[in-house]
Structure 1
């Protein structure tokens, strides 16, 4: 059986998708908690904290969008389209990790799951069939 036909790949993809949507909802509703995934905290200054909370909501909307795009590829697209969309989402996770790295913390959490997204996505594309 070619790797792209493994029944577990769409299940793994949907698990990642659900995480994106969950992270997005969390970022919108609980910005202070969402920052813990980056190992950051809200600034003490109220104006700065409000700005960071607003930016965290933007990050939340981005994650929900990625999740919905991935759900769409999973439901109405092909395994190949789902795979390439997962690979694109992994680039976002790698970028988040790089940004955290420049701040000295939080990068390990992002770089831990980004390669998994890349692997599952690559297998779904059929590149290893």
Structure 2
């Protein structure tokens, strides 16, 4: 059995989708605590509690969307799409780490440590470790 179609890799994808949804719900329900993942305190950014809540709802919905998209594609057995979504999610995590790094309080590794795990899982779903290149025979598909 190819690694890309193995159930442990599928379960890893599901776990990451659920983690995104969990972080998104947490940000929406508890915005002040959600800001702590980015090294912000409500007194520093944004300027009012309403702005803080609004910002974290946007971040929360982003995370929920990513999680649902990953889960939906895995449920539809679209492993290639799920793989690319996980790799895109790693870019989001890396960028979140850059935001934390710009504040210089050390939480960037909470994001940067997570990003490679997403990339590897996405790559496994894409078949990078299957030992053979996936190719498309265009001529065969057109007949």
Which residues of structure 2 form unaligned runs of 5+?
A: 131-143
CA apart distance, 1:44: 6.8
Q: Deviations over 1:3-44 (max 9, x none)?
A: 213321111111111111111111111001111222322117
> Could you tell which deviates more after superposition, 76-85 or 23-32?
76-85
Q: 2:82 matched to 1:82?
A: yes
Runs of 4+ in 1 over 6 A off after TM superposition: none
The residue matched to 1:100 in structure 2 has which SS? helix
Which residues of structure 1 form unaligned runs of 5+?
A: none
What is the aligned-residue RMSD (CA, Å)?
Answer: 1.8
What is the number of equivalent residue pairs in this alignment? 129
Higher RCO (CA-CA < 8 Å; seq separation 6+)? 1
Point out the structure with max Rg over C-alpha: 2
Distance between the aligned counterparts of 1:81 and 1:19, measured in 2? 18
CA contact (8 A) 2:9 2:125 kept: yes
Greater helix content: 1
